Structure 1
């Protein structure tokens, strides 16, 4: 394989990561509608709340806590908690490709990611977990994009079912 072919493969991988980011952001933004419906506010107020919380985890925590209030029926609670769980399960893969550096092998091997995170263990630190950029990684990203698309459609169904602000 020539250097040009490797670059084209990496460019394709970056395009796939871009599609993952688009699917993620588009789906995460639907939490605004869930916040509005659960908190009983309009979409503008829910947007301010959403943007004030600066992490996905905080936004999901808010939706889950609002969902667990006594005033929310079990019929409403179950699908929302299922959806937030599905979103959360996709976050590890998204974080892997968004909070990393991309490293290239001097001998022409496949590039890989180096996670920019410290894993603090009892008496040691683990730094720089590496993941190869290969067909399996691309398949994982494609599966995540498909799952995020399905989650997105399911959130819209919940929004319609419970008549949340659109």
Structure 2
């Protein structure tokens, strides 16, 4: 794994980035066979299969958040879907779900911990999905194998601009993607069981008049000026 670091002059970020870009040359999207032979490359069809399976498993699991949001907001399916769709990033959807859980499940610590664990698992899968979808793919000279990915991300840290973190697309990488798909499959199974527990608790709490998280704003809920 490598990160290309570019020396940057003084000035605002856009000026520095523009100057840095003139010094940076993108690696061609074809790698010489001599370098490819040193790696354990895999056929392009195998890469497509692994990435496709990851995307399908992740998308299906992310959509299950609509059901958890519905239970925690004590609302209907349409409203939950509208909230989910209005938040257009996975991070925002997970943040909302986590905050709702902390408000609604504060009297059920075990249930809350399980919710937090499930959300953390989805966050981990998000990072792997981004590593494959938000990247450029480098092929060998024959165009048959994908030998590495280069992240399409710019980082600015301590006066440096870095771009194009590369990772080899080898057998180990494919195996790690396949393991994540297995984790997502198990995540889905556990989440459906968890949804029933959350629904039972929230419904029972609401029937006893305890469905409103009245203490999330502190000692007083008076927001009048």
State the TM-score, normalizing by the size of structure 1.
0.88
Who is 1:137 aligned against? 173
Give the distance between the partners of 2:123 and 2:191, measured in 1 at CA.
14
- For 1:69-123, what per-residue CA distance to the aligned partner results, in whole angstroms no more than 9, with x for missing partners? 1664323311111100111112211100010010124488852111000121111
2:114 to 73, 79, 82: 79
2:88 maps to 1:88: no
Who is 1:123 aligned against? 159
**As a proportion of its length, which structure holds more strand?**
2
Mapping for residues 9-20 of structure 1, pairs under 5 Å? 9-20=43-54
1:67 to 91, 101, 109: 101
Give the distance between the partners of 2:61 and 2:104, measured in 1 at CA.
26
Extract unaligned runs of 5+ from structure 2: 1-40, 201-225
- Tell me whether 87-96 or 49-58 shows the greater mean CA deviation: 87-96
Give the distance between the partners of 1:33 and 1:110, measured in 2 at CA.
38
Instruction: Tell me how many residue pairs correspond in the alignment.
Output: 160
- For 1:10-31, what per-residue CA distance to the aligned partner results, in whole angstroms no more than 9, with x for missing partners? 1111111000000000000000
- For 1:4-63, what per-residue CA distance to the aligned partner results, in whole angstroms no more than 9, with x for missing partners? xxx981111111100000000000000001100111111111011001100000000000
Who is 1:101 aligned against? 136
Extract unaligned runs of 5+ from structure 1: 1-6
* 3-state secondary structure, aligned to 2:136: strand
Q: 1:80 to 1:48 in 2, by over 3 A?
A: same
* 3-state secondary structure, aligned to 1:102: strand
* 3-state secondary structure, aligned to 2:88: coil
Give the distance between the partners of 2:175 and 2:105, measured in 1 at CA.
41
Deviation, 1:163, is 2.6
Give the distance between the partners of 2:163 and 2:199, measured in 1 at CA.
46
Q: 1:135 to 1:75 in 2, by over 3 A?
A: same
Who is 2:77 aligned against? 43
Q: 1:76 to 1:53 in 2, by over 3 A?
A: same
2:191 to 136, 142, 155: 155
**As a proportion of its length, which structure holds more helix?**
1
Following TM superposition, where does structure 1 have runs of at least 4 consecutive aligned residues deviating by more than 6 angstroms? none
